[in-house]
Amino acid sequence: MFDWYQLANKKEDKMIQIRRYLHQYPELSFEELHTHEFIVNQLKQWSCDITEPVGRNGIVAKFNGTGDGPTIALRADFDALPVEELTTHDFKSKNDGVMHACGHDGHTAILLAVAEIINDNLEYLNGNVVLIFQYGEEMMPGGSQEMIDDGCLKGVDRVYGNHLWSGYPTGKIYSREGAMMASPDEFSIKIQGQGGHGAKPHETIDPVVVLAEFILSAQKIVSRTIDPVKQAVVSFGMIQAGSIDNVIPDAAYCKGTVRTFDTEVQQHVIDKMEKLLAGLAVANDIRYTLDYVRGYLPLHNNPKSYNTIKTAANDLNFRFNDSELMMIGEDFSHYLKVRPGAFFLTGCGNPQKNITASHHSPYFDIDESSLKYAVSTFLRILELEQVIKKS
């Protein structure tokens, strides 16, 4: 077994430098032109085949081995969020209203370090390593499906991904067999009634009351129509109607999200929402529209690949734990529908360094000492997969 931790530790200063540079110049999903160019220029230093653009703006780097080992893909995303950074770092975002508030700058630095260490050890490459640098993870439809459609998984046997996670402590690796992350769907509803004077409600068809009735009834979809052992969430994040206190408006609007781990449960929620709205339309003489957008697929880890991650972390003497079920979405799930593989989380939270802010917060940060743990885990996975081995 290689001493991957020590090899990763030697790259730590460079990783931090790259992460901080990317952090200063974040770019929104599907707009990552400078970041794309930076990654390509880094990859050109090493003996890998570079394909770009893959999909709209992705990059694939392939290291070709001489043995009969498998082809394993590793993925990192590199887009940022429309968030105004409020940290006090001297390397804080220089792009107003845009911030790496989810750790994708760290993900890119991690995968570039993996590339450099592989390049330093090409004589031990028994299989092939495909490094996927993905754009647009934060915004549906996401970049993963476009990259898959453009062939990024061609010839790949298994695929692994990582996410830095501030909710878990630095030095710990987390994953979960089977379902791990949910499908993050979005919906918007318009209730069309007939407005009028607030003193004469009988002459109106009040869309506000109907929308309120729908919102309350929708809470029973999860609590009373879904098996309690099957998780689902229906949440309303926006309600809008009218502009003055004594006028009943013509229409009322709402937006929300549905989170599920199972496509059958997902369809059940959609069907129930439609039935509720159709019933309210008949009972109240209103018209409605329901715009429902299915989000990324739920993320399900392959059991064998999950065990590979678990073994890798334990072999490295990291503290492996099973992740909790998460209602967040992650478009790495699309890779896992095409090839077996698994996703893991690398803890990057550290209360002693005041690094506790949640993802997507303007105060989000990572403990940069976490980067080497992810690099080490990726490389040990490649060794366990017989892609890298000593002759």
CATH of the domain at 247: 3.30.70.360
Nearest to 70 by CA among 127, 121, 125, 123: 127
C-alpha to C-alpha distance for 172 and 164, rounded to whole angstroms? 10
- 79 catalytic residue (yes or no): yes
Residue 34 shares a structural domain with residue 112: yes
Annotated binding-site positions for Mn(2+): 102, 104, 138, 163, 360
Residue 269 shares a structural domain with residue 203: yes
Helix (H) or strand (E) holding 65: none
CA dihedral 9, 10, 12, 13 (to 10 degrees): 150
Say if 348 falls within a structural domain: yes
pLDDT of residue 277: 98
Only one residue has tokens 């072999």, namely 315
Q: How far apart are the first and last CA of the chain?
A: 12
C-alpha to C-alpha distance for 103 and 379, rounded to whole angstroms? 20
- 150 catalytic residue (yes or no): no
Nearest to 148 by CA among 332, 383, 354: 332
Q: Say if residues 384 and 378 touch (Cβ distance below 8 Å).
A: no
| Preceding peptide of 184 cis, ω within 30° | no
Residue 323 shares a structural domain with residue 348: yes
C-alpha to C-alpha distance for 54 and 133, rounded to whole angstroms? 9
Only one residue has tokens 């220029």, namely 41
Nearest to 342 by CA among 214, 213, 174: 174
Residue 270 shares a structural domain with residue 304: no
Say if 391 falls within a structural domain: no
Residue 88 shares a structural domain with residue 53: yes
CB neighbour burial string for 92-118, b if at least 16 within 10 angstroms, e if fewer: ebebeebbbbbbbbbbbbbbbbbbbbb
Provide the sign of the torsion angle of the four alpha carbons 369, 375, 376, 378, taken in this order. Answer: positive
pLDDT over 90, % of the chain:
98
Q: Which residues contact 68 (CB under 8 A, 6 or more apart)?
A: 126, 127
- The β-bridge relationship of strands 71-77 and 158-169 is parallel
pLDDT tens-digit readout, 226-254: 999 999 999 999 999 999 999 999 999 99
pLDDT tens-digit readout, 50-83: 999 999 999 999 999 988 999 999 999 999 999 9
Of the pLDDT bands very low, low, confident and very high (cuts 50, 70, 90), residue 391 is low
> Mean pLDDT over all residues of the chain?
97
Of the pLDDT bands very low, low, confident and very high (cuts 50, 70, 90), residue 150 is very high
In terms of residue numbers, what domain contains 149?
A: 4-179+298-384
Residue 190 shares a structural domain with residue 159: no
pLDDT of residue 86: 98
| Domain end call among 293, 313, 347 | 293
Indicate the pTM of the whole model: 0.94
pLDDT greater than 90 at residue 378: yes
Residue 170 shares a structural domain with residue 64: yes
**For the chain, where are the alpha helices, taking DSSP H only?**
4-10, 12-24, 33-43, 104-120, 144-149, 207-225, 263-284, 303-315, 333-338, 371-384
Q: Say if residues 220 and 268 touch (Cβ distance below 8 Å).
A: no
Say if 100 falls within a structural domain: yes
Mean pLDDT of 317-345: 97
| Domain end call among 293, 323, 347 | 293
SS3 348: strand
C-alpha to C-alpha distance for 254 and 265, rounded to whole angstroms? 22
| Domain end call among 272, 293, 314 | 293
Mean pLDDT of 307-325: 97
Mean pLDDT of 37-58: 98
pLDDT of residue 390: 81
Q: In the numeric block, which tokens belong to residue 147?
A: 């990259």
- The β-bridge relationship of strands 319-322 and 172-175 is parallel
Catalytic hit among 137, 185, 262, 365: 137
Residue 232 shares a structural domain with residue 327: no
Residue 228 shares a structural domain with residue 353: no
Mean pLDDT of 278-301: 97
Q: Which residues contact 230 (CB under 8 A, 6 or more apart)?
A: 261, 262, 265
Q: For the chain, how many structural domains are there in total?
A: 2
Residue 286 shares a structural domain with residue 303: no
Mean pLDDT of 2-6: 95
Catalytic hit among 32, 79, 105, 185: 79
| Preceding peptide of 141 cis, ω within 30° | yes
How far, CA to CA in Å, does 231 sit from each of 185, 225, 227, 265, 343?
14, 12, 8, 9, 20
